[in-house]
Every structure is written in structure tokens, then in C-alpha cells.
Amino acid sequence: MKVFYVLCISVLVLIACSGGEDTSIVEQGFTRAEQQLSNQLKAVPEATEYPRTIGKDGKLKVTRKNDWTEGFYPGCLWYVYEYTNKEDWKKAAIKWTESLEPLKKMTNHHDIGFLMYCSFGNAYRLTGNEAYKDVLVESARSLCTRFNEKTGCIKSWNYRKSWNGKDEWFYPVIIDNMMNLELLYFATKVTGDSVYAKVANRHAETTAKNQFREDYSNYHVVNYDAETGEVLNQATCQGFSDNSAWARGQAWAIYGYTMAYRETHRQDFLDMAVHTADFWLNHPNLPENGIPYWDFNAGQEDYVPDWNYDPEIFKVVPRDASAAAIVASAFLELSGYVTDGKKYSAAAAHILKSLSSPAYLAEPGTNCNFILMHSVGSIPHGEEIDVPLIYADYYYLEALMRYKNM
């Protein structure tokens, strides 16, 4: 009997220690978020310019309402409000969210999901304001205008050329587009109109068919013939090479199919989430701290980039904290849907501990007041290399909230 009590006490101590450790990571992350975002709000007081990164001049770089990242900033504010329940954060989140309302009619690219669901989606979830729901439904209608029955998917970008300068992309679809489907599923839930979910399901099905390799890594870009639906090109735009595994693209896939399973309970979507997640976890080039290189195959033999790659510049392959934050959030959700979910939750916890360490979590008042350091936007474009990125902060805070709620 004495042994039994000793064992019970030992287990309770372990649980208490684990819980304390978990709490400290979440508390530390949100304390730093409050410090950094408070300073950022002072630096950009009006909701007309949205923090994105640090420019090559070392100064804060912002975007106006003509890009794809504006929704992440109010999304960060909403997560801080959700954690702290402080009215000042709610007021700031409302201000920066409502400034984006005109974008509900945007049809010139697919990123309206990022723009509106990260902002208005969190706003509606936390306030129940019916006006926000209406904005989201109109945004979903706008996104559906880019769907084509022949291709079976939503067009991501308008016309552009590939890196080789020869292939022309008239109907390019990128893996990032999986993230925008959440807006469509939401619209069906609140309106009862199945058309939005049907578009989302069709896009996810087509993407699963055409955008993945046998090992469940993915092509960043698939270019379709809009008249026949035929796949014309499978390539990259932000990864190392057409046949490489771009880390953030893999993170988008894991997150996207996990979310699609949540909304549909379709086994094929869960299978895709698991396969893409296991590719990540089992990859021999995944660093020990869980923060991936920007591309799993950067600089390796048999991976030849079409862009002007100089190996002398990238002797040390940059890490991408944004990909790590996205996948940590996805792993935490996925862990609740499968019987062996512990391996995903453990991987997420490991990533969050790394991101919350001094190696990635910026000191107060530094890093142009972004929360995380060391992300990568697009190395082929020569842009946003080893800098903070607003979407890294957004998914880091989302992952911390999911970690807390678990």
C-alpha cells in the first residue's frame, strides 16, 4: 500500500511539473506578445498600414490593403485579447479588423481567406457580432469567383511565368490555397448553403490528386489548362527547386488537410493530414530543435533550382520559424483526431519550446517589435530572408492558445 501511495505522489508531481512547464511557455509567449505588440501599435497608430516584416534597411516594413498578410496583424491582437481578456486589446483588435472590411469584395487573388478569416473569423468567434459573419460570407462569395469546374480548384494567382522563363502559368494553384478553404466551410455552416463547402471539398480533392508526390511532399505550384483541366506544370516559386520540399508549403498542407477533416470528417482528408505530417516528422533533414530549414532539400544533389542560386551565399541554410509555428498549430489539432496523436502533440510542444527560447523569441523592444525571429519569405525572390514575419507571430500565438487549451 505504501508503494502505491508513493507511485501516486510521484505521478502527481510529474503532472504538476509538466503543467507548470506548459504554463510557463504560454505565459512567456503572451507576455512577450503584449510587450511587442504594445510597442508596434505605438509605431503604427493608424489602421492603414499593417506590420509585415523588417525591410532590408532594418526598419519596420508595412503593407497596405493590397497584399496577402494584412489579416494576420488583427489576428494577433485577437489572440492576445483571448488570452488576457483585456478590453484595450479587444478595442485594438476591432479597430484593425474593421479597417479590412472593403477587402470582402476582393477577387483578384485567392488570399482573401488569410485576409478575412484570420481577422474577421477570430472577431466573430470571440464577439459573436453578426455584422462580422456577413462580412465573412461575402468574402466567401468573392473567393468562389476564382473556382473553375474544369480544373476543379480555385485559381491562386493570375498569369505569370515560371522561374525558367519559358513556362507560362495561366491557371496556377499553390499549396497555400488549402488554408483559404476554412472561410468556405464557415460560410456553409452559417448560411446552410452547401455551395461553399462543395467548392472547398473539390479543391481539396483536386489538390490531393495533383499536388503531391508519392512520399507526400508537395509541389508548391500546379498550373492547369483552364479549358480542359489538364495539369501542365508542377513547379515551385518559393522553394529550392521544382522537385524539392519547401518547408512552409508542407506546413500549409498539414494544416489545410487537418482543418478540412475537422470540417467534413472525411477519412481521405485525415489520411492526407497524417501522411503529410509523417513526411515532416520522419524527414532525415529535420533539425533536432524542430525548426526546419526553409526547404528540406536546399543545396542537395539532384535538386537543381531554376533561379539564380549562389551556394556561397547560403553555406548556412536559413531556418523558417514561420513554417515551424504553422506546423506546431496543425500538429496540436491533428493530435486530437488520431489514436497515436501523442507523437504530434509531443512534436508541437518541442517546437513551441524551441520557438519560445532566446534563439527565436525576440527580446522586448527589439526585432521591430515582432515576436519571433528567423523566418523566411522567399529566398528565390531575394526577399524576407532571416527576418520576422507577421504570419509567424500569428500561428505561434494560435499554437500557444491551442497548447493552453489542451
| Sign of the C-alpha dihedral computed for residues 320, 324, 325 and 326 taken in this order | positive
- Measured in degrees and rounded to the nearest 5, phi and psi for residue 376 equal -130, 130
Distance CA 79, CA 89 (A): 9
E strands, 238-307, are none
Distance CA 165, CA 33 (A): 42
With vertex at residue 255, the alpha carbon angle to CA 254 and CA 257, rounded to the nearest 5 degrees, is 70
Which of 3, 82, 76 is closest to 40 using CA atoms? 76
Within 8 A by CB and 6+ apart from 323, the residues are 247, 248, 250, 251, 292, 294
Other Cβ atoms closer than 10 A to 101: 18
Residues catalogued as catalytic: 111, 176
| Sign of the C-alpha dihedral computed for residues 402, 370, 358 and 81 taken in this order | negative
